[in-house]
Amino acid sequence: MKKFWGSATLTLAAMTMMVMAAESPDQRARDAALQAQRDLLPDTPGTGRFAGMKEELSSFPNHVVYRPANLAALGGTKLGVYLFGNGACTIDGASSRFHLLEIASHGYLAIAPGRIYSGPGAVARPAAAAVQDIATQPRTSYRDLAAGLDWVVAQNADPKSPYYRRIDAEAIAVSGFSCGGVQALRIAGDPRVKTVVVMNSGLFAETTALPLPEMDVPKSALKALHTPVFYLLGGETDIAWKNGRDDFQRIGHVPAFYADLLGVGHGGTYAEPNGGKAAAAVVAWLDWQLRGDAQAARQFTGKDCGLCRDKAWFVEKKRID
């Protein structure tokens, strides 16, 4: 989708910035200490059939690629594609590493913009990215997700690529967390996209505004959706809850599944081993939407669907059953 939007909107990134500003120095110190502890945790291989790994590639700079560690083990299984926008549109492509490694372990090629700036294999951040104010950090762009889409298609067609004919170019999802979810919605109109997953995110109404880049997308962008869409929020304490619910309520022309993972808030389960319950739900959605897996579909279809019966979730559906 090539259209640009310049409307002034209150953004999720701005909301995050305000929350950070409201924190006491002690709270910020605790947050920094918690992040440092998480950085020491090893990468989790995922729960799927193919142990996941992450890497940076010279053939595709400023992106982190998550994939099955042993491509030969795929056999005849082709890689689905999961393009993921980072929370806060950060340049840390490892900021949601547990989530993305879990996706990769189920036979997907997951791509996040940026570099590995946290966790195992981290490189030093640029000096400008050391500041805490997310409004002044270097940021990724929705164009980075679009570049990922072009890259996987080209790799699949290149006889010199390790991904030659290993990718299912008809099985491409776009997704993202918070600001990254808006990036995903921004390219959702691309005809190569087969499903959209919006995580802890949603578009703001065109009202008063702190116009930050990447988030200035109006509600009218929802009309460009042409595939089933999965909204995954963290309950009413999620700062994106109001916006994500409003998005879902406005969507009527494509199948839509809304799921609140109650009580986890905006941070979701990204920091949990293997990405927690949210990652498991996303895997099921991808397996259904991109691979037609009937067992995975039962997590979403019917009045007794798997997520419907799990008291950890509140769900609503449109045009799903």
pLDDT digit string, tens, across residues 18-51: 434 434 566 556 656 767 777 889 999 999 999 9
Q: State residue 1's pLDDT score.
A: 35
For the cut 50, the answer to whether the pLDDT of residue 154 exceeds it is: yes
Residue whose C-alpha is closest to residue 88's, from 79, 80, 96, 97: 96
How many C-beta atoms lie closer than 10 Å to residue 75's C-beta?
A: 6
Q: Output the CA torsion 303→309→312→313 (10° steps).
A: -10
Q: Which residues contact 217 (CB under 8 A, 6 or more apart)?
A: 5, 7, 9, 182, 185, 186, 203
Q: State residue 215's pLDDT score.
A: 81
Q: Which residue has the tokens 């690529």?
A: 161
Condensed to tens digits (0 to 9), the pLDDT of residues 77-94 reads: 999 999 999 999 999 999
Q: What single-letter DSSP state applies at residue 254? A: S
How many C-beta atoms lie closer than 10 Å to residue 316's C-beta?
A: 15
Give the bridge partners for 318, in sequence order.
Answer: 256
42 three-state secondary structure: coil
Q: Is 22 exposed, middle or buried (0-12, 13-18, 19+ CB in 10 A)?
A: exposed
Mean pLDDT of 48-56: 98
Q: Where are the domains of the chain?
A: 12-24+37-318
Q: Which residue has the tokens 């304490």?
A: 237
CATH of domain 12-24+37-318: 3.40.50.1820
Element (H, E) at 256: strand 256-261
More confident call, 190 vs 30: 190
Q: State residue 207's pLDDT score.
A: 58
Window from 3-12, 127-136, 181-190 with minimum mean pLDDT: 3-12
Q: Give the whole-angstrom CA distance, residue 131 versus residue 118.
A: 15
Q: State residue 193's pLDDT score.
A: 98
- Mean pLDDT rounded to a whole number for the chain: 88
12 three-state secondary structure: helix
Q: State residue 37's pLDDT score.
A: 78
For the cut 50, the answer to whether the pLDDT of residue 6 exceeds it is: no
CA angle 126, 128, 131 (to 5 degrees): 115
Q: Give the whole-angstrom CA distance, residue 272 versus residue 303.
A: 29
Q: State residue 19's pLDDT score.
A: 39
Q: State residue 292's pLDDT score.
A: 98
Task: Kindly write down the DSSP assignment for every residue of 233-257, as one continuous string.
Answer: E--TTSTTHHHHHHHHHH--SS-EE
Q: Is 133 exposed, middle or buried (0-12, 13-18, 19+ CB in 10 A)?
A: exposed
Mean pLDDT of 97-116: 98
Confidence of residue 129 (pLDDT cuts 50, 70, 90): low
Question: Angle, to 10 degrees, between the axis of helix 179-187 and the axis of helix 142-157?
Answer: 60
Mean pLDDT of 232-237: 97
Confidence of residue 132 (pLDDT cuts 50, 70, 90): very low
Confidence of residue 139 (pLDDT cuts 50, 70, 90): confident
Q: State residue 206's pLDDT score.
A: 72
**Contact yes or no for 309/259 (Cβ under 8 A):** no
Condensed to tens digits (0 to 9), the pLDDT of residues 39-48 reads: 889 999 999 9
